[in-house]
């Protein structure tokens, strides 16, 4: 069996803790590798090495750091298929979806090629008599990224690219379920010219996470995962005096107004609800048609589209719509929530349970499920299912639909489909959600904007990538200066310079 490693000081190194986790191919349901789980001592050693490497990297001018990002971006492009295959093998995504995972991370790397412009400070000339002021953005030192299983390339790139472009060293702890992509990205960064030790990839579980949070040298932590873990990491990081941006779970709604193009709305719901097996924090998991007639027509359009979805392993080719979920436990949980929906009175229109694919009988596949007449009291509404399940909550009117979203504790993404500009504008202005789509189902901002939710979907003041990332990974220092260069008289002051 393949035994994976950490990546420390520019090379792969074996784990020393004696503890390992299994890495599984979810399409086969087979263990394909073991990944070492770092001890607290291994984390502390990696941090100490990163701190030494950061001194030189932090003093490297931003343009030279940007050139490393340029070379890194070129290498990602050259190795797109290899990276996508790693993503698919360990996560289960289809190859087109895996390429999209890499591409969205690459786009953040491309923005970081503009680091010199994004790191510029400010200057005030003659702010007082003979006094000038200027500010500069300086790196924090050693920072950490703790990333989830559902985007093995994209989210590590969202963390590492801005952090490194700002002059920091980074400890990256990827999900132990999908470690190989981060290890390959680290090797590509070394090839691109990143000095050894500036990026350390250390695999691990809660012991490694707590060691990162408790290490005094680590100045900031970025996390993406479930809401309870996001809240835990944010609280422990803040208690230890660290900056933290922690992004949690979601329950994303899409309102469908009576004037919407229902064919486009149905297509959008199928893609946003079932793509990547629903394992996306920006997936639409709740459709909210306004009015009984709209709901009936929407359900009628959804059924044939959902029934045509093809589920299978990434090796089946480009026409597969989505693959397996990440683990057998995840499938069991999803099927348990579907059962609870039935027990609590929702109408199960399409049942995806019990799917078996010839030759992949041990894979963690689950077919698409569709619920109608879901209510906010049901478990399938209250919990983030994180699987290929779309719930329909019928609303009597626009205000009822809006209230449903406003009252939900999550606030990651939302959307509305309508032909009325006034309704769309009102929705975008009033809804208490961080990312809003208008006739656009998954409103993930482009990489030169910024990504982040509201309410219990995010903890911390600053968002991921874009300008916020450069603010998060730097400190602002402001200098007030006055130079005594001789004798100046006749103004508001007069003095003689001291030798």
Residues identified as active-site: 281
Question: Contact, 79 vs 133, CB < 8 A?
Answer: no
Helix (H) or strand (E) holding 460: none
> Angle at which helices 180-192 and 62-78 pack, to 10 degrees?
130
Closest CA to 273 of 258, 292, 288, 257: 288
Which residues are 417's β-sheet partners? 256
Pick from 35, 33, 28, 26: nearest CA to 2? 33
Structure tokens at 159: 């963390």
- Residue 189's CB is within 10 A of a number of other CB atoms, namely 26
**Contact call for residues 194 and 68 (beta carbons, < 8 A):** yes
Alpha carbon distance 422, 419 (integer Å) = 9
And the tokens for 270? 């199928």
Nearest to 178 by CA among 159, 199, 151: 151
Of 362, 309, 364, the C-alpha closest to 334 is 364
| Chain center to CA of 255 | 24
DSSP string, 23-79: EEETTTTEEEEEEE---HHHHHHHHHHHHHHHHHHHTS-HHHHHHHHHHHHHHHHHT
3-state DSSP percent of the chain in helix, strand and coil, to 5? 40, 25, 35
Dihedral pair phi/psi, residue 209, rounded to 5°: -60, -45
Determine contact, residues 93/101, Cβ cutoff 8 Å.
yes
Give SS3 for 203: coil
């Amino acid at each position: 069996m393949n035994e994976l490693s950490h990546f420390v000081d520019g090379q792969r190194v074996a784990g020393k803790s004696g503890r390992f986790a299994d890495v599984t191919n979810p399409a086969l349901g087979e263990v394909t590798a073991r990944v070492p789980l770092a001890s607290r001592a291994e984390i502390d050693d990696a941090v100490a090495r990163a701190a030494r490497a950061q001194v030189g990297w932090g003093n490297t001018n931003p343009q030279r750091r940007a050139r490393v990002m340029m070379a890194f971006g070129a290498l990602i492009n050259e190795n797109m298929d290899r990276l996508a295959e790693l993503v698919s093998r360990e996560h289960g995504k289809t190859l087109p979806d895996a390429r999209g995972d890499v591409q969205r991370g690459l786009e953040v790397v491309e923005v970081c090629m503009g680091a010199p412009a994004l790191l510029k400070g400010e200057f005030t000339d003659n702010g007082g008599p003979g006094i000038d002021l200027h500010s500069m953005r300086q790196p924090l030192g050693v920072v950490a990224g703790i990333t989830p299983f559902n985007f093995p390339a994209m989210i590590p790139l969202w963390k590492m690219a801005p952090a490194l472009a700002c002059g920091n060293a980074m400890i990256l702890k990827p999900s132990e379920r999908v470690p190989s992509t981060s290890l390959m990205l680290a090797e590509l960064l070394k090839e691109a010219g990143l000095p050894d030790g500036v990026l350390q990839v250390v695999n691990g579980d809660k012991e490694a996470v707590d060691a990162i949070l408790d290490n005094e040298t680590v100045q900031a932590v970025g996390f993406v995962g479930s809401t309870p873990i996001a809240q835990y990491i944010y609280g422990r990081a803040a208690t230890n005096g660290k900056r933290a941006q922690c992004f949690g779970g979601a329950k994303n709604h899409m309102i469908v107004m009576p004037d919407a193009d229902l064919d486009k709305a149905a297509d959008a719901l199928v893609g946003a609800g079932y793509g990547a097996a629903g394992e996306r924090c920006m997936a639409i998991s709740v459709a909210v048609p306004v009015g009984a007639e709209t709901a009936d027509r929407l359900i009628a359009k959804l059924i044939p589209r959902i029934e045509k979805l093809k589920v299978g392993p990434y090796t089946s080719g480009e026409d597969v719509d989505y693959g397996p979920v990440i683990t057998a436990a995840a499938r069991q949980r999803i099927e348990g929530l579907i059962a609870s929906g039935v027990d609590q009175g929702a109408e199960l229109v399409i049942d995806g349970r019990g799917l078996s694919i010839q030759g992949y009988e041990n894979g963690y596949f689950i077919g698409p499920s569709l619920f109608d007449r879901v209510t906010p009291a049901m478990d399938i509404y209250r919990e983030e299912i994180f699987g290929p399940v779309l719930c329909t909550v019928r609303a009597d009117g626009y205000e009822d639909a809006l209230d449903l979203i406003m009252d939900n504790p999550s606030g990651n993404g939302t959307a509305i489909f309508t032909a009325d500009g006034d309704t769309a504008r009102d929705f975008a202005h009033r809804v208490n959600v961080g990312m809003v789509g208008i006739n656009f189902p998954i409103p993930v901002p482009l990489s030169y904007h910024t990504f982040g939710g509201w309410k219990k979907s995010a903890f911390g003041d600053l968002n991921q990538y874009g300008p916020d990332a450069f603010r998060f990974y730097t400190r602002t220092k402001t200098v007030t200066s006055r130079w005594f260069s001789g004798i100046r008289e006749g103004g508001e002051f007069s003095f003689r310079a001291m030798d």
